[in-house]
């Protein structure tokens, strides 16, 4: 024991190095959302394509659905979009868009050009519903269950890995 005492500082150093290495490899932009496991904030917004019709949270109860926050000014949304269009064709769950701090014409034109994976997009011109959902980096994606509880949040563009390893297993569980 006495002879191995010199290893103690080495061990302490290794432990610290591991902690710091893990810290370095985490993305500081991915702030854990306090909203997971909480009821989705209620909202009532007009549809992007029709200012006369509105959609409220209560209208979407009873189904598992996805909320994807997007904007025509958002460059990362453009990267994400083809994947979202392809995912929507699988028909695993209804996808609603939250058109965040955008103009109606710009948003509609963008969907026309890029394809529309959404059942409908909610028009959040002032970003108030976005704030209620704790949105800070568009695109963001939420999965909301039948009881209206937020089950998952992804910040930044969706990737095939996120869909395969997080979203699809979660959907299996929620629909079981």
Partner 1 sequence: MRRRSRLLVLLAALSLVASVFAKEAVPEASDPALEARMVRITSELRCLVCQNQTIADSHADLAVDLRRQVREQLTAGRSDAEIIDYMTARYGDFVLYRPPFKGTTLLLWLGPAAMLGGGLLVLAVVLRRRSRLSPDAFEADDDDLVSPSPARDVGHA
Binding site for partner 1 (CB under 8 A): 28-29, 31-35, 101, 126-128, 131-134, 136-137
CA 34 to the chain's CA centroid: 13
Q: What are phi and psi of 65, to 5 degrees?
A: -140, 165
CB 119 within 8 A of CB 47: no
3-state secondary structure at position 130: helix
Q: What are phi and psi of 154, to 5 degrees?
A: -125, 130
Least distance CB 176 / partner 1 (angstroms): 29
Residue closer to partner 1 (CB basis): 35 or 57: 35
Least distance CB 160 / partner 1 (angstroms): 26
Least distance CB 13 / partner 1 (angstroms): 13
Least distance CB 82 / partner 1 (angstroms): 25
Residue closer to partner 1 (CB basis): 29 or 90: 29
Residue closer to partner 1 (CB basis): 128 or 172: 128
Residue closer to partner 1 (CB basis): 87 or 100: 100
Residue closer to partner 1 (CB basis): 101 or 151: 101
CB 95 within 8 A of CB 65: yes
Least distance CB 127 / partner 1 (angstroms): 5
3-state secondary structure at position 29: coil
Beta-sheet strands, E only, within the chain:
44-47, 50-56, 65-70, 95-100, 120-124, 140-144, 150-155
């Amino acid at each position: 024991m006495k002879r191995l005492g010199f290893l103690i500082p080495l061990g302490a150093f290794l432990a610290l190095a591991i902690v710091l290495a893990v810290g370095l490899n985490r993305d500081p932009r991915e702030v854990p959302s306090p909203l997971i496991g909480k009821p989705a904030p209620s909202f009532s917004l007009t549809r992007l394509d029709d200012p006369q019709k509105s959609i409220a949270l209560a209208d979407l109860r009873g189904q598992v659905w996805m909320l994807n926050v997007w904007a025509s000014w958002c460059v990362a949304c453009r990267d994400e979009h083809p994947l979202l269009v392809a995912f929507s064709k699988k028909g695993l769950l209804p996808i609603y868009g939250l058109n965040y701090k955008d103009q109606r014409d710009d948003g509609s034109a963008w969907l026309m050009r890029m394809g529309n994976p959404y059942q409908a997009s909610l028009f959040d011109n002032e970003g108030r519903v976005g704030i209620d959902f704790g949105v800070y980096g568009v695109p963001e994606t939420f999965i909301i269950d039948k009881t209206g509880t937020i089950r998952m949040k992804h910040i930044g563009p969706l990737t095939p890995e996120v869909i395969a390893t997080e979203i699809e297993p979660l959907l299996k569980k929620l629909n079981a």
